[in-house]
């Protein structure tokens, strides 16, 4: 059996949620578990969060009706589920059948909901205050929601917005979005429209825009123990949920002047030994990490050398006492040494979301309680 795996620490996941509960100060929590819980395994993560009893999330957030159906059918979750994706005619009856809350955001949604013929369904409206993606424009929101609430069987269970720059130090545009959203709420109240639960704060906003908590917050990446930006790293004592591990397949001697892997990116300046490890870019161990990242063996960091290949990487171990079968940590910690998600993102010039979602399905997940 291939020894490369992602270890998912469910105790850390639960600990992170309980910390977020403290920040929420009694407000509701929507746990974002879309994209297979950011690569951590949606079913297993939701089961762990649901085990917290009255501290469990009040809602779960997904990005497709397929994900929602897994939670209902396989996980037997009864908690409200909000789907952030756009509604369409072909799936609308599934929302009714499985009691899933769709997002409404465009005029077509009015016709889609009318097609249900009065069947009961709860919806949340996404108000576009500046994200420029899914959502009804804030200046059209009141008229749109009037029409939505007039449809027989439809209940407006909530309204929300999504910040475009909440992870940036400059909060000027986030503040503009916040004011636009507040104005929509005032207009809805003046029109006598019951808009349900109000939510705006994603992980970045939870950490830095405390005056927009409203009725509910939407933690995503911080649930999994990673800050949404390096600048906010350390604002919460988060516990990383995912570690990436493997074992040394073999040791090979490399003489001075010999090269390692494609393109001869590494040429030995002196005789050394390399540890060969069965992981590669097909697993999400990105090629951009080549010659720039470390692995931890027996509590010591060793540099990865040569071009990362589809299935295999190499580490320069010198003449240390390392043998085939020894454990190696590619992401996580061992013996006081760490390789963090942010170590990867700096090299890959990307965001931690992509790192975690990029750990492929070929890497088996092992769950630790």
Phi, psi of 77 (to 5 degrees): -80, 130
CA neighbor of 62 nearest in space, from 53, 77, 54: 77
The 3 state secondary structure assigned to 51-114 is: CCHHHCCCEEEECCHHHHHHHHHCCCCCCCEEEEEECCCCCHHHHHHCCCEEEECCCHHHHHHH
Choosing from 146, 189, 256, 262, which is the catalytic residue? 262
Residue 99: Cβ within 10 Å count = 14
Q: Terminus-to-terminus CA distance in the chain, angstroms?
A: 23
The answer to whether 34 is a known catalytic residue is yes
CA neighbor of 304 nearest in space, from 342, 275, 283: 275
The 3 state secondary structure assigned to 123-192 is: EEEEEECCCCCCCEEHHHHHHHHHHHHCCCCEEEEEEECCCCCCCCCCCHHHHHHHHHHHHHHHHHHHCC
User: How far is residue 310's CA from residue 323's CA, in Å, rounded to a whole number?
Assistant: 23
The answer to whether 262 is a known catalytic residue is yes
Choosing from 28, 34, 245, 247, which is the catalytic residue? 34
Strand partners, 300: 297
Q: What is the chain's Cα-based Rg? A: 24
Residue 150: Cβ within 10 Å count = 10
Q: Give the contacts of 228 (CB within 8 A, at least 6 positions apart).
A: 166, 167, 202, 203, 204, 207, 221, 222, 351, 352
Strand partners, 5: 245, 364
Active site residues: 34, 262
């Amino acid at each position: 059996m291939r020894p490369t795996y992602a270890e998912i620490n469910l105790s850390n996941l639960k600990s992170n949620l309980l910390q977020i509960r403290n920040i929420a100060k009694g407000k509701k929590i929507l746990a974002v578990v879309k994209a297979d819980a950011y690569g951590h395994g949606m079913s297993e993560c939701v089961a762990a969060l649901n085990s917290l009893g009255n501290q469990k999330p009040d809602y779960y957030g997904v990005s497709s009706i397929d994900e929602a159906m897994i939670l209902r059918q396989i996980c037997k979750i009864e908690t409200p589920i909000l789907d952030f994706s756009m509604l369409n005619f072909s799936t609308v009856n599934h929302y009714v059948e499985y009691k899933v809350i769709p997002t409404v955001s465009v005029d077509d949604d009015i016709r889609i909901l009318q097609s249900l013929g009065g069947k009961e369904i709860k919806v949340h409206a996404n108000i576009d205050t500046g994200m420029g993606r899914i959502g009804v424009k804030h200046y059209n929101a009141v008229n749109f929601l009037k029409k939505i609430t007039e449809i027989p069987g439809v209940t407006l269970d909530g309204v929300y917005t999504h910040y475009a720059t909440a992870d940036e130090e400059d909060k000027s545009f986030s503040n503009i979005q916040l004011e636009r959203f507040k104005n929509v709420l005032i207009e809805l109240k003046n029109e006598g429209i019951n808009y349900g639960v109000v939510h705006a704060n994603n992980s970045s906003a939870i950490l830095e825009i405390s005056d927009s908590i409203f009725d509910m917050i939407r933690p995503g990446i911080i649930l999994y123990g990673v800050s949404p930006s390096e600048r906010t790293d350390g604002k919460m004592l988060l516990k990383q949920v995912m570690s990436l591990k493997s074992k040394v397949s073999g040791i090979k001697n490399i003489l001075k002047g010999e090269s390692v892997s494609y393109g001869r990116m590494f040429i030995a300046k002196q005789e050394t030994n390399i540890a060969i490890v069965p992981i590669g870019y097909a697993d999400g161990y990105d090629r951009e990490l080549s010659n720039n990242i470390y692995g931890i063996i027996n509590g010591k960091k060793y540099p990865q050398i040569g071009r990362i290949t589809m299935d295999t990487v190499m580490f320069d171990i010198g003449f240390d006492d390392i043998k085939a079968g020894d454990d190696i940590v590619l992401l996580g910690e061992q013996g006081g040494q760490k390789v963090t998600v942010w170590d990867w993102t700096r090299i890959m010039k990307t965001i931690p979301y992509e790192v975690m979602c990029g750990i492929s399905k070929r890497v088996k997940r092992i769950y630790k309680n």
